Amino acid sequence: MKGTVGELGEFGLIRELTSRLTSTPAVKIGPGDDAAVVAAPDRRVVATTDILLENRHFRRDWSTAYDVGRKSAAQNLADVAAMGAVPTAVLVALVVPADLPATWPLELMDGIRDECQVAGAAVVGGDVVRGDTITVAITALGDLRSRAAVTRSGARPGNLVAVTGWLGWSAAGFAVLSRGFRSPRAFVEAHRRPEPPYHAGPAAAELGATAMTDVSDGLVADLGHIAAASGADIDLRSADIDVPAQMSDIGQAVGVDPLHWVLTGGEDHAIVATFPRDVKLPARWRIIGEVRTPAGRIPQVTVDGAPWDKAGGWDHFGDDA
Ligand SMILES: Nc1ncnc2c1ncn2[C@@H]1O[C@H](COP(=O)(O)OP(=O)(O)O)[C@@H](O)[C@H]1O
Ligand SMILES: Cc1ncc(C[n+]2csc(CCOP(=O)(O)OP(=O)(O)O)c2C)c(N)n1
Ligand SMILES: [Mg+2]
Ligand SMILES: [Mg+2]
Ligand SMILES: [Mg+2]
């Protein structure tokens, strides 16, 4: 595809975007009408939205359009999974400048489509608007399959805290890219293209998870939301939190304690949940701490019993943002 988005025009772009999509049996009416129609066998619909903005969530010199597509879909699909639901459909709202090469949004859509396919969902609609900063706003829908939603508020003292998926890999990759390097590849790739363990969300619900979230901002920050919503403290045992040797090497090279990436790095979209103590967890879950009766008036996350007094993760209005 030659030319720019402006040359293609709004409806030319929409035609090209939608022509690349695939469908699923849940999609009754896909893109092309005033709205889509998606089957909701459960009669409840899980709905969530996250925005990705150029130079805030991604950089075009660090990630391909396809990578940004995979990541923007993953960020939203992970939120559906973290409720214990199976993703069904996503809507893609795009802001693009007129002089952007048309290949960029088309390859973005390929990435969104492919990540949706990994999670079992399909793109059912969207919007295109001309603007100065590339913005990808995705809405994802999901189905609870007759189970109760797993919220952030159900953690109880005595519960175990367990996690599945990657922790700190994206943050280590971000640190590498920020310093002008392109390797080690595994970490840079983790930053470009997270791999949320989608299946683990519904699986955790089935196993009796009492609270759950995906780790988008950082483990300590996101568990902080569970602590606050549940009115309980959460203590992490650092000895049970794996720091890969390769991550330690990068930490050494750039002067950062790698445990900091694991505890406060976001964007890997691992799934962390609390479970009753007698749960039988499959091997992919690592037990990393426990829920405790709150020690003070404000529920908090502690590490090895000590309050975590640094930032627990990304904050769009924080000092690092
Ligand atoms: N502009 C908004 N209007 C209404 N609700 C919002 C808005 N921004 C965030 N929220 C809600 O606040 C909660 C926390 O948001 P956020 O930290 O972005 O969640 P997540 O990490 O799951 O994406 C979510 O339930 C989200 O839907
Ligand atoms: C260019 C660039 N700068 C900084 C970051 C780091 N970063 C941006 S947003 C974010 C947290 C996750 O995004 P957010 O919009 O908070 O998603 P949500 O928590 O709502 O799911 C992080 C770690 C990045 N990925 N790219
Ligand atoms: Mg959000
Ligand atoms: Mg999110
Ligand atoms: Mg966030």
The pLDDT tens digits of the residues spanning 80-103 come to 999 999 999 999 999 999 999 999
Query: Closest ligand 1 atom to the C-alpha of 50?
Result: 23
Cα(235)–Cα(239) distance, rounded to whole angstroms?
12
Q: What is the mean pLDDT of residues 19-28?
A: 98
Reply yes or no: is the peptide bond before residue 41 cis, omega within 30 of 0. no
Cα gap 283→202, rounded to integer Å: 16
44 in Cβ contact with 105 (< 8 Å): no
**What is the predicted ipTM?**
0.98
Verify whether ligand 2 is closer than 6 Å to residue 75 (CB atom): yes
Please give the span between the terminal C-alpha atoms of the chain, in angstroms, as a whole number: 35
User: What distance in angstroms lies between residue 50's CA and the mean position of ligand 1's atoms?
Assistant: 8
Q: Give backbone dihedrals phi and psi of 17, rounded to 5 degrees, phi first.
A: -65, -50
For residue range 55-83, what is the model confidence (pLDDT) as tens digits?
A: 999 999 999 999 999 999 999 999 999 99
Q: From ligand 4's centre to the CA of 138, what distance in Å?
A: 10
Place of tokens 């009766």: 293
What pLDDT score does 320 carry?
A: 86
Q: Is 314 annotated as a binding residue?
A: yes
Which atom number of ligand 1 is nearest to the Cα of residue 79? 22
No. of helices (H) and no. of strands (E), the chain: 10, 13
CA 310 to chain centre: 22
pLDDT tens digits, 137-156? 999 999 999 999 999 999 99
Q: Are 134 and 97 in contact (CB under 8 A)?
A: yes
Angle formed by the axes of helices 185-192 and 65-81, nearest 10°: 70
Q: How confident is the model at residue 307 (pLDDT cuts 50, 70, 90)?
A: very high
Task: Specify which residues 91 forms β-bridges with.
Answer: 125, 139
| Contact by Cβ (8 Å): 277, 291 | no
CA dist., res. 181 & res. 177, Å (int):
5
d(CA 271, CA 268): 9
SS3 212: strand
Which residues form ligand 1's pocket by a CB distance below 6 Å? Answer: 50, 79, 216
Q: Which domains does the chain have, with CATH numbers?
A: 9-143 (3.30.1330.10), 160-307 (3.90.650.10)
Ligand number nearest to the C-alpha of 175: 2
Ligand nearest to the CA of 52: 2
pLDDT tens column, 38-57: 999 999 999 999 999 999 99
Amino acid at 2: K
